[in-house]
Amino acid sequence: MTGDAYYIDGVRVPIGRAKDTGYYAQTRADDMAVRSIRALLERNPTVPPSRIDDVAWAATAQVGDQGLTLGRSLAILAGLGKEVPGYAIDRMCAGAVTAIVNSANAIRVGAQDLVLAGGVEHMGGHPMASEVDPNPRFLSDKLVDPSALVMGNTAENLHDHHPEIARERCDEYALQSQERTGKAQANGIFDTHVVPMTVRSPDGWRVVDVDEHPRPGTSMQDLQKLESPFRPGGFVTAGNAAGLNDGAGGVLLASQAAVDEFGLTPRMKMVDYAFVGLEPETMGFGPVPATEKLLARNGLDIGDLDVIDMNEAFAVQCVAFLDHFGLPLDSDHVNPYGGAIAMGHPLAFSGARMAMQIATYLERNPEAQRGLNTMCVGLGMGAAVLWERA
């Protein structure tokens, strides 16, 4: 038995900065995810929590408050019922993407009808690479270059491979991300995605309800003053790269049977997806082969996509993607609402945010039919997901 897997809804908490004064400095990662799940089900009251077939939840740091078989832990903590199972996923930046496509596949083969899929990353509590122990053979056996283990260095490597991508173009792209995100916030684009969360701060309890990371007053002069922390004279800076952030969120996916039984409204369906591997030293190029593979398998070209939401880990990988497919830097259908350079990139969570933005674009643009999510992934991978209006 096969069928379609529909995207019904998506919810996230506001993205915070991963610092001692950030939104979630005194908040647990699993509580951020629980808030997302509860809000998602509150928004879809016809769905009995006990009827959720699985909770697929991703985190890159599978430790501490992001460990203990995260999906199952969240099912219990969110009060879904002891009969609801769950599992944890790690594909670094593509964690939530993997949770979503795995869940969609379970629905498409008829094994499940309702699944919650998402991700969380508390980078303030679990800084990148602070709790991992890479096998020494990576370097001793020269399986990867040392730069492959530092994402900023891989972005500098991508500049080396594409000398035509000047620092100025990356700063222009970064400024565009800030401007588009600011415009999207002002136009209420994220209002249906973001739910308020109560957090504890040094001054007591407070409610946060807007993303903390965007810098709407950014100028080119501001960006050009920044220096690269990765190499002397480098091109990758804090201004043209994604931030270090805390965030959580997920989506509700359903089968046609569940749509009919619970009176749900499908917003889009997953058509296909692709994951690829490539040189870890230039992992930022991953969206290109992933997108090429996906388009070829579906008999499409880049012009057949009405909207593309690309994770902005680094501006250089976004510019490389646009150049490869012959798209201008200011393509109005590529990251129309901005991206991670402005909003931040809480690793395993970001794929859920991107799916929400595709769904919103299709909803606000009735002529649009197809959307693509794509991202680069640490250790040399790329991911791409093809969505279609339901």
Residues catalogued as catalytic: 93, 345, 376
DSSP state of 20: T
Distances in Å between the alpha carbon of 73 and those of 23, 25, 65, 112?
Answer: 23, 21, 10, 20
Strand 370-377 and strand 381-389: the pairing is antiparallel
DSSP letters, 127-154, are -TTTT----THHHHTTSS-GGGGSHHHH
Q: CA 115 to CA 69: how far, in whole Å?
A: 16
If one counts every other C-beta atom within 10 angstroms of the C-beta of residue 294, the result is 23
E strand residue ranges, the chain: 6-12, 16-17, 54-58, 86-89, 114-122, 197-201, 204-208, 245-254, 268-277, 307-310, 370-377, 381-389
Give the phi and the psi of residue 243 in degrees, each rounded to 5: -80, 180
Distances in Å between the alpha carbon of 10 and those of 43, 317, 357?
Answer: 10, 27, 9
Q: CA 157 to CA 319: how far, in whole Å?
A: 14
Which neighbouring-strand residues pair with 54? 115
- Among 388, 78, 107, 87, which residue's Cα sits nearest to residue 258? 107
Q: CA 64 to CA 81: how far, in whole Å?
A: 23
DSSP state of 15: P
End-to-end CA distance of the chain: 20
DSSP state of 42: H
